[in-house]
A and B are shown apart, each in its own frame.
Chain A
Amino acid sequence: MWSDILRRGGYALLVILLVTIGVQALMALAPGSVAEVILGEAATPEAVAAMNAELGFDRPFFVQYFDWLFSALQGDLGTSPITHIPVTEAIMQRLPVTLELAVLALSIALLVAIPLAVLSATFPNSGLDRGINAVTSAFLSIPAFVAGPVLVFFFAVTMKTLPALGWTPIEEGLGPNLRGAILPALAVALTEIAAFHRVLRADLIGTLREDYVAAARAKGMTGTYVLFRHAFRPSSFSLLTISGLSLARLIGGTIIVEALFVLPGIGQLISSSIIQRDVVTVQGVVAFIAVGFVVINMLVDVGYGAIDPRVRRGPRARKAPVAAKARTTQGKAVSA
C-alpha cells in the first residue's frame, strides 16, 4: 500500500509541476505586459520596458518560472503589482468563504441525494424510481447561473425570507452567516445531486443482490434493518469517492455564484484579477486551485483503500477490481 501511495504522490507532483508551467505559459502568451496595465496606455515604450525589468518580467521564461516555483514552495506566491497585496494573503483571506460554500453545497446535495437513492434502490425500476430519476436529471440540467437568479426571485424577491446578496462573516453569528450562504450553496448543489443519487442507487441495488443480504432477509430481519445495517455501509464507498471529487470541483466552481451573490471568495478573486489583468494573482490562484484539486484527488484515491477493508487487503480482494473500475469511470467524469 505504501509503494502505491508513493507512486501516486510522485505522479501527482509531476501533474502539479506541469499545471503550474502551463499556467505560466498561458500568462506569457497574453498580449501586453503587466507594466502596460499599470502605467496605462499613454506610457512610453521605455517606461514600460523599465517597469517590466523592475518587476522581473523581462527574464527568460524558465528563469521566471523557477523563481516563482521556489518562492511558491516557501508559501510565497508573489505580490500583486496592481493591488500590492501578497497573493497568499489574498487567497487565505477568501478561502474560508469558498470552503464554507463548497462544504455547505456538498452537505445539501448529500442530504437530498441519500434519501432519494435509498428510495430508488428499495423499489428499483418502479414508477417511483423512474420519477426520482427524472427529477434528478432535471436538477442536473439547472446550471448555477440559471438556479441562482431563479432562487433569488423566489426566496429574496417574492418571499423576502433570505438576502439576495452579500456575505456575513461567521464571526458575526452563525444565523446571519447561514442565511447569506444558503441560496448560493443551493444554486451550486443542484447539479451535484444527480451524480450522487445515481452512484449510490446503483451500488445499493448491487449490494442488495448479495448473498449475505438474502441470508439476512431469510433470517427474518426487516427490510429497513437490512437496508441500513447491512447494505448501506458497503454501498457508500463510491459515494464517498465522488463526494471528495465534487468538493474539489466546487472549490473552483463557485465563481458564478460568487459573482451573482457578491461573495468575497476565491472565485471573485479570480474574476476580478482577470478583469484587471493582474497576471501575478491569476497565476497564483489558478495554481492554488489546481494543486488543491490534484491533492484532494490523490487523497480520495488513496483514502478509498483506507476506508474499504476489502480493497486494503490487497489486489486479490474480491471487490478490488470492481472498486477500481468504478473509481476510474467516476474520476473521469467528475473531474472533467
Chain B
Amino acid sequence: SLKQLHFGHCMVSVDMYEMRKGFGDIKEMTQSQDQHTSIRLLHGSHSLQNTKSEDRCCFFHYLLKFYLVNVFNQCTEGNNFHQRRVSRIANNFLSIKKELTLCDTVTTCSCGKEANQRYEQILNQFQRMDSHSAAVKALGELDILLDWIDKT
C-alpha cells in the first residue's frame, strides 16, 4: 500500500493505506462542514497526473506545503479523535515533503510555468474564501489529492 512516485531520478513513497484510512475516518464530518459545494479547489482540469512531467515534482511540492502551512493547523478543533487523525495525515505529509526535499531539487523539482499557474489558481480560489472555511474545504478535498497521487 506504499505508492512510489518517481520524479526524474528521485523517488518518494506515500503510505496510501495510512492516508486513506486516516482521511476516511474524518471525511464525512469534515465534508459536512463545507457548505460551499459550488466551489472546488483541486480541479480535475489541473490535476497532478496530467501536469507536464517536468513540472509535476514542483507542483506536488507546492501542494504538500499548501496543506502543511494553510490547512492542517486550521483544522485542529473538534474532538480528540479528529485532532489525532489530522495529526496523523499532517505528519505523513511532512514525511513525504522531507523525502522530496532530499531529492536534488535543482534539477528534479524545477518550477515551470504550468506548475506555478496551477498552484496559483488553487491559492487564489482558497484566498477568496474565509480562511477557516477554505481550510475545511481543502481538508475535505484530500480524497481528490489521494486519487491524483494514486493515478500519478
A and B pair up: no
List the interface of chain B (C-beta within 8 A of A): none
Binding site for B on A (CB under 8 A): none
